[in-house]
Homo-oligomer: A and B are copies of this chain.
Amino acid sequence: MGEARVTIADLARRLGLSQSAVSYALNGAPGVSETTRERVRAMAREMGWRPSSAARSLRSRRSRAIGVVLTRHAEQLATEPFYYRLIAGLETVLSPRDYSLLLSLTESGPAAHELYRQWSQEQKVDGVVLFDLVTEDSRIALLEELGIPMVLMGEVPNHSAVLHVAGHEDTDSLVVMQHVASLGHENIGFLGGPVALVHEQARRRGMRRAARLTGARLVQCQAEYTIEGGRRAAADLLARHPQLTALICSSDLICLGALQACRAAGLQVPQDISLVSWDDSIPMAVVTPAITALDRDPAGMGKIAARLLVGHLEDGPLGGAPTEVTSSLVIRESTGPLRAPGRT
């Protein structure tokens, strides 16, 4: 039997794991459980797997660049503070370690695939960070096939990615819901973002669960991640559900739009309706009324993602396990006690 006859793909198939999980386990990269690591190593011994020297040498040809493909329009990149706080977090870890960030915007999924294939052929990146995960995200399978290490920003159902920054949508939902419930609100509207996104699905589930736990009545709708998208969605929701006394918005821009819609409907914030944003940013702090917002520490998320990926690339954990990011609710003027009907 020649060397490298048993491949990582063979091991993955036998173990029912993804190729990247097997690869991470064999390379001693962080993130795989000890049980999995042992299972993979046992199977590797059993099947007579040996590291391919070609692959090893290939792996040492580092580009020292981490790739990020955003499938969003340039205008969104220009206005959404969440992304640039996240990218700044990545840079905080990458720059001192001499990694650059290769950034590209594409308008569609297929274009992103094309770009990953090109990056792979030209060895342009050592690894990538995946944002805006969708269900059955085809980018993951492609990157596994191309052998490009990746870290996922978030979790994908039915996929056990080894390197991922876990979301906190359940806890976050509960924190937000309990805050408005504690102010006496019982009819809550949730203006979510595009439902194709895995983290938006998780927020909708989290909000439903939080509503059950607090006994609130919840209506949900979908909005684009823009001020205009938030304005339209909120105007529509308020017209259809006049009983709502609190709106929870899935981004800061949606929330600025919702504020406009409330004003246009003659509602005062927070006297008539309370507003909460899922993302904190400078506009949330300086707008009048200042908006109660969930600071999910996007820079911290970016730092963790970069540490995980660099740690994996350099074959070992990097200065201890990355610290978990925790969200904190910054309470400002836009949320207030429910005004009893007729009490005005």
Nearest chain B residue, comparing its CB with the CB of A252: B282
Say whether A84 faces chain B, with CB atoms less than 8 Å apart. yes
Mark interface residues in A73-94 (1 if CB within 8 Å of B CB, else 0): 0110111010111011101101
Q: Which residues of B contact A100 (CB under 8 A)?
A: 67, 102-104, 115, 124
Which residues in window 13-65 of A have CB below 8 A to B?
63, 65
| Distance from A343 Cβ to chain B, minimum over Cβ atoms (Å) | 27
* Whole-angstrom CA separation of A214 from B286 in the bound complex: 33
Nearest chain B residue, comparing its CB with the CB of A103: B101
Mark interface residues in A84-127 (1 if CB within 8 Å of B CB, else 0): 11011101101100101111111100000001001000101000
Question: A102 to B286, Cβ gap below 8 A?
Answer: no
Report how many residues on chain A are interfacial, defined by Cβ distance under 8 Å. 41
* Whole-angstrom CA separation of A63 from B89 in the bound complex: 26
Residue of B101, B124, B283 near A283 (CB, 8 A) is B283
Nearest chain B residue, comparing its CB with the CB of A260: B286
Say whether A299 faces chain B, with CB atoms less than 8 Å apart. yes
| Distance from A121 Cβ to chain B, minimum over Cβ atoms (Å) | 12
Residue of B94, B118, B256 near A282 (CB, 8 A) is B256
Mark interface residues in A294-333 (1 if CB within 8 Å of B CB, else 0): 0000010000000000000000000000000000000000
- Check A77/B104 contact, CB under 8 A, given A256-B286, A282-B283, A287-B288: no
Residue of B74, B87, B103, B115 near A92 (CB, 8 A) is B74
* Whole-angstrom CA separation of A81 from B79 in the bound complex: 8
Residue of B74, B88, B124 near A95 (CB, 8 A) is B74
Nearest chain B residue, comparing its CB with the CB of A298: B78
Question: B74 to A78, Cβ gap below 8 A?
Answer: no
Nearest chain B residue, comparing its CB with the CB of A125: B100
Of the candidates A81, A95, A122, A288, the one having the most CB atoms from chain B within 10 angstroms of its own CB is A95
Residue of B105, B282, B299 near A74 (CB, 8 A) is B299
Nearest chain B residue, comparing its CB with the CB of A259: B286
Which residues in window 175-208 of A have CB below 8 A to B?
none
A-B contact pairs, 25 of them (CB 8 A): A63-B122, A63-B124, A65-B102, A74-B89, A74-B91, A74-B95, A75-B299, A77-B91, A78-B299, A79-B282, A83-B84, A91-B105, A92-B105, A95-B106, A98-B118, A100-B104, A100-B115, A102-B103, A103-B103, A253-B282, A256-B286, A283-B283, A286-B286, A286-B288, A287-B288
- Other A-B pairs, 13, CB within 8 Å; known A81-B81, A100-B104, A283-B286: A63-B124, A77-B87, A78-B88, A78-B89, A91-B103, A92-B105, A95-B105, A95-B106, A100-B102, A101-B102, A101-B104, A102-B103, A287-B288
